[in-house]
Amino acid sequence: MITDTTTPILSARALQHSFGPTEALRGIDLDVHAGEVLAVMGPSGSGKSTLLHCLAGVLTPDAGSVTYRPAGLDPLELSSLREPRRSRLRLKEFGFVFQFGQLLPELTAVDNVSLPLLLDGVSRPEALRKSANLLEQLGLGGMGGKLPGELSGGQAQRVAVARALVTSPAVLFADEPTGALDSLASENVLTLMLELVRQAGTTVVMITHDARTAAYADREVVVRDGVLGAGYRVSP
């Protein structure tokens, strides 16, 4: 479900980034629209994860710009922002899901999910209530007290999805979100995650090398050797 096809929520222009002599991005232009689920595909080493990190303000590009347009507010050029401001964006308005979840092993599932809210100053009772409710929506009701090591891979990744969505982010960045899961767990995680983001109108930028994962998106684009090709599928 693409809710806004006119003004992009994220825009990259002439984006370049290198790691030493290796050019990861070589002049990429890309628009991501509000409410869109965008799959960025490409082989390993193509530059797709570097693109995601630049779009999210994790990396500052060597050249070019990334503009984020919050609803009802002035546009923000991410590379011009100081790191504390970019960190604040990543805490409140951007959510992240990584291939291996990156849950804190010493915290329970509900405490892992609550962490972004607590860092934002939400009271612990309210954070736990909201986190438990989100775990319930992801099919993990009653499992909030378990440690990550007590969960299956698919369950742990759903906890990671809950943590990414608990702040109601405007944009969710997912880097190979099911890359470490078997096909059944992958389907379960993607179905539940995309059901929630579509209900909320959340924009998703999802990095994947798997065509089956990309098929869940509204649109696909391909990165090869740091250059972006045109999207080759738009779902009805």
> pLDDT for 83-121, tens place per residue?
999 999 999 999 999 877 689 999 999 999 999 999 999
- Provide the pLDDT for residue 230: 55
The answer to whether the beta carbons of residues 62 and 16 sit under 8 Å apart is yes
**Axis-axis angle for helices 153-165, 183-200 (nearest 10):** 20
CA dihedral over 18, 228, 160, 72, signed as positive or negative:
positive
The answer to whether the beta carbons of residues 164 and 157 sit under 8 Å apart is no
pTM above 0.75, yes or no: yes
> pLDDT for 165-224, tens place per residue?
999 999 999 998 887 788 888 898 899 999 999 999 999 999 998 888 899 999 999 999
Band the pLDDT of 54: cuts 50, 70, 90.
Answer: very high
More confident residue, 3 or 35: 35
Quick check: 43 pLDDT over 70? Answer: yes
Cα separation of 119 and 78, whole Å? 22
Spatial CB neighbours of 163, under 8 Å, sequence gap ≥ 6 = 103, 112, 113, 115, 116
